[in-house]
Chain A
Amino acid sequence: MRSIAIAVLLMLGATASLAHDYRAGTLEIGHPASRPSTGRTGVAYFAVTNKGDAPDRLTGIKVGGGFADRAEMHATMQDGDVMRMRPVQVIDVPPGQTVTLAPGGLHVMLLGLKAPLKAGDEMPLTLVFERAGAVDIKVMVEKAGATPGTHKGH
């Protein structure tokens, strides 16, 4: 009985992550994902592809349902052992480009989490684009070993 329940949960989880792409106008948001957190700060990753001819830009991220105080976009720059991180207000999505928020590079910081994130949790976020407007997405917390945001074949 318990093993069936686990199998069903796993399947649900798999279906959820397979269906995890969003469209808004000419933008495609691919595979929003997060990782389990130990403290009150979490991360979120996704990829945005602009299939149109006009540039768009991500200008903000809102936290849905109050699971965290706020979300910030951050850029990380690594030069050898030196790593620098700073909040950014705008991430451009030029036409024809895929901009990937992934471990090591651009990412979303979730600040003031009400509870640590566990694998399987789902968090509602609203991405605000200058042209495409607000896009609601759900971010799935994956196991620590997964490489979110960088699925092949998108």
Chain B
Amino acid sequence: MRHFLILLLWLAAAPAWAHAVLLDTQPGDGMRLDAAPAEIRARFNEPVDAIAVRLIDAQGQTVAGPAATATDSTVTLPVPANLSAGLYIVSYRVTSADSHPVAGSVQFGIGIGPTAEGQAHVAGHHDGDRLSWVAALNRALFYASLFVAAGSALFIVLVNAGTPAGRVLSGAAALAIVTGAARIGLQGLALADLPAGALASVESWRVGASTTLGQSIGLTIVGLAAMLLGRRSTPVVLSGAIIAVGAVALTGHAATAQPRWVTTPAIFVHALCVAFWLGALWPLDRALARPDAVAIVRRFSVLAGVAVALLVASGAAIAANQVRGWAPLVDTDYGRTLLVKLGLVAALLLLAAWNKWRLTPELARGETTVLLGQTPPPRALNLHEGHAHGAGEAAAGIAVVTSARDRQVLIEIDPGRAGRNTIELTFSDTAGRVVTPLEVSLFLAQSSAGIEPILRQPEKVANGRYRLTGPELAVAGRWLFRVEMLVTDFDRLVFETDIDIKP
């Protein structure tokens, strides 16, 4: 009920959201490049004027070069040709048509990788945590229904040679269209940092639709709609399915990573194979009831073998490009998710092998039925889960306590030197009893180096305890730490303190 009231309030307030929103940057936040880019581009949702856009190196020095120019909604900063390897911060301050200044920073590395994920954007309101669960669930439903719809169509066309029709296929395609559309709106909310109620506003959809995710899902929806409308025509259904699944390759961290001539086709092939493999589950099950079941399973087996080989090869290419080296497999979220996924895939392959060598012959003798497991791709799995760590106490680094009203936050920074740091926030009352906020945001800014606030959402690691590991504190000097704690839906506490980061 309370949330419904908030929704109504936000609906009334929705037209007020008109500030410029950073949609994406080239290179993207947290990206690792092999060579210096020729220029840096920041795309906003509406025309902006560039007030101050600077490239700052790891020593905190502004890289000298021509000034940034703004053309419509894109700001372009030329980059000097001899940029050396290292971490860089792009600090921007722009104004939109309503002349409201918008500022923030993003980071990228040349030759070395800042692995921090996520978009940095400017201060505002957010319903982050609760919304991210809805978004994660919606995303899982989207991928599941997309793969079932397109995959079963592929199966029926390629293996069964029948006419692709039926309620499951249509239902899955419809579900994928609905959840896909919802993803566009949710993406807009997350990017524009709007509260959940703003889902009813045009703004969130406009922002969402202007991202690569929006374009990718738009294409998926076109493909799915073609499958639904032309379901009596095999060529239409087949091309619809390939478009619907292939569109996945147009967006996402992995697909847009450099070099794109490797990553985009790899994701395309990977997604098609996953769809074929997973989507086969239902029609395969149905086919078992038919008299020609053995022939169908044999045909599927051959194609599935090819699909699995392509799946593993393309997956390996994507993972090698994303992870680079063994250490990130265990010390990044992406790496850990990938390991979990590889475990699931290995289990599935064992099951498939068992199925092929044991069950298929039994099937030929008419003794049993076949089951296939399922594994979602890592992006469907990738919830923001907390990782429990040991309670070992390290007194290293910097620790500062700051208060606001009757709450205090302990900020611990390890090692507290310029470069990669782990920042931990522990919230408590004045008697030291830990309190758990609804939501936590951290803004990091370094005014003397001209670094506008970088926004990060630290990950919850225990009650009242939040952690962020990343290269944000790239330069030495006095950093402003601004911690926002959502106490209740209506009560936000802001802590601000300066912390000296050593060289």
Is A94 engaged at the interface, CB distance under 8 Å to the other chain? yes
Closest to A100 in B: B430
Closest to B499 in A: A90
Q: In the complex the two chains form, what is the Cα distance from A57 to B402 in whole Å?
A: 9
Number of interface residues of A (CB under 8 A): 25
Q: Which residues 426-468 of B sit at the A interface, judged by CB distance below 8 A?
A: 426, 428-434, 462-465
Residues of B within 8 Å of A63, CB to CB, are none
| Given known A-B contacts A77-B434, A79-B463, A104-B432, A92 and B393 have beta carbons under 8 A apart | no
Nearest CB in chain B: distance from A146 CB, A: 16
Residues of B within 8 Å of A57, CB to CB, are 497
Taking a contact as CB atoms closer than 8 A, the residue among A78, A87, A88 that contacts B432 in the complex is: A78
Q: In the complex the two chains form, what is the Cα distance from A22 to B214 in whole Å?
A: 62
Nearest CB in chain B: distance from A73 CB, A: 8
Beta-carbon contact of B404 and A78 below 8 Å: no
Beta-carbon contact of A76 and B403 below 8 Å: no
Beta-carbon contact of A76 and B400 below 8 Å: no
Is A75 engaged at the interface, CB distance under 8 Å to the other chain? yes
Beta-carbon contact of B410 and A88 below 8 Å: yes
Is A86 engaged at the interface, CB distance under 8 Å to the other chain? yes
Is A43 engaged at the interface, CB distance under 8 Å to the other chain? no
Residues of B within 8 Å of A99, CB to CB, are 403, 408, 430
Residues of A within 8 Å of B410, CB to CB, are 75, 77, 86, 88
Q: Which residues 56-97 of A sit at the B interface, judged by CB distance below 8 A?
A: 57, 75-80, 82, 84-92, 94, 97
Q: In the complex the two chains form, what is the Cα distance from A77 to B399 in whole Å?
A: 13
Beta-carbon contact of A94 and B398 below 8 Å: no
Q: In the complex the two chains form, what is the Cα distance from A1 to B313 in whole Å?
A: 97
Residues of A within 8 Å of B412, CB to CB, are 86
Beta-carbon contact of B434 and A88 below 8 Å: no
Is A33 engaged at the interface, CB distance under 8 Å to the other chain? no
Q: Which of B395, B402, B412, B465 counts the most A-chain CB atoms under 10 A from its CB?
A: B402
Residues of A within 8 Å of B463, CB to CB, are 79-80
Beta-carbon contact of B462 and A79 below 8 Å: yes
Is B401 engaged at the interface, CB distance under 8 Å to the other chain? yes
Closest to A59 in B: B400
Is A110 engaged at the interface, CB distance under 8 Å to the other chain? no
Q: Which residues 369-400 of B sit at the A interface, judged by CB distance below 8 A?
A: 391, 393, 395, 398-400
Is A52 engaged at the interface, CB distance under 8 Å to the other chain? no
Beta-carbon contact of B400 and A77 below 8 Å: no
Beta-carbon contact of A90 and B401 below 8 Å: yes
Beta-carbon contact of A97 and B404 below 8 Å: yes
Is A123 engaged at the interface, CB distance under 8 Å to the other chain? no
| Given known A-B contacts A86-B412, A92-B400, A77 and B395 have beta carbons under 8 A apart | no
Residues of A within 8 Å of B465, CB to CB, are 79
| Given known A-B contacts A89-B400, A92-B401, A102 and B395 have beta carbons under 8 A apart | no
Is A137 engaged at the interface, CB distance under 8 Å to the other chain? no
Residues of B within 8 Å of A90, CB to CB, are 399-401, 497, 499
| Given known A-B contacts A86-B393, A105-B431, A97 and B399 have beta carbons under 8 A apart | no
Residues of B within 8 Å of A102, CB to CB, are 430-431
Q: Which residues 14-41 of A sit at the B interface, judged by CB distance below 8 A?
A: none
Residues of A within 8 Å of B405, CB to CB, are 97
Beta-carbon contact of B401 and A97 below 8 Å: no
Q: In the complex the two chains form, what is the Cα distance from A102 to B406 in whole Å?
A: 14
Q: In the complex the two chains form, what is the Cα distance from A97 to B409 in whole Å?
A: 14
Beta-carbon contact of A88 and B464 below 8 Å: no
Is A106 engaged at the interface, CB distance under 8 Å to the other chain? yes
Taking a contact as CB atoms closer than 8 A, the residue among B398, B400, B432, B499 that contacts A105 in the complex is: B432
| Given known A-B contacts A102-B430, A105-B432, A91 and B401 have beta carbons under 8 A apart | yes
Q: In the complex the two chains form, what is the Cα distance from A86 to B433 in whole Å?
A: 15
Closest to A58 in B: B401
Beta-carbon contact of A92 and B430 below 8 Å: no
Task: Mark B171-215 against chain A: 1 for CB-CB distance below 8 A, else 0.
Answer: 000000000000000000000000000000000000000000000
Q: In the complex the two chains form, what is the Cα distance from A78 to B398 in whole Å?
A: 20
Q: Which of A86, A92, A102 counts the most B-chain CB atoms under 10 A from its CB?
A: A92
Nearest CB in chain B: distance from A117 CB, A: 22
Q: In the complex the two chains form, what is the Cα distance from A100 to B428 in whole Å?
A: 13
Closest to A96 in B: B405
Residues of B within 8 Å of A105, CB to CB, are 408, 428-432
| Given known A-B contacts A78-B434, A82-B391, A86-B393, A97 and B462 have beta carbons under 8 A apart | no
Beta-carbon contact of B401 and A88 below 8 Å: yes
Residues of B within 8 Å of A79, CB to CB, are 433-434, 462-465
Q: Which residues 264-303 of B sit at the A interface, judged by CB distance below 8 A?
A: none
Closest to B410 in A: A75
Residues of A within 8 Å of B402, CB to CB, are 91-92, 94
Beta-carbon contact of B403 and A94 below 8 Å: yes
Q: In the complex the two chains form, what is the Cα distance from A57 to B403 in whole Å?
A: 11
Residues of A within 8 Å of B401, CB to CB, are 75, 88, 90-92, 106
Nearest CB in chain A: distance from B416 CB, A: 9
New A-B pairs, 4, CB < 8 Å, besides A79-B434, A92-B402, A99-B403: A77-B428, A80-B463, A82-B391, A105-B429
A residues with CB within 8 A of B? 57, 75-80, 82, 84-92, 94, 97, 99-100, 102, 104-106
Q: Which 6 A-B pairs have the closest CB atoms?
A: A105-B432, A92-B402, A88-B399, A79-B434, A90-B400, A76-B432
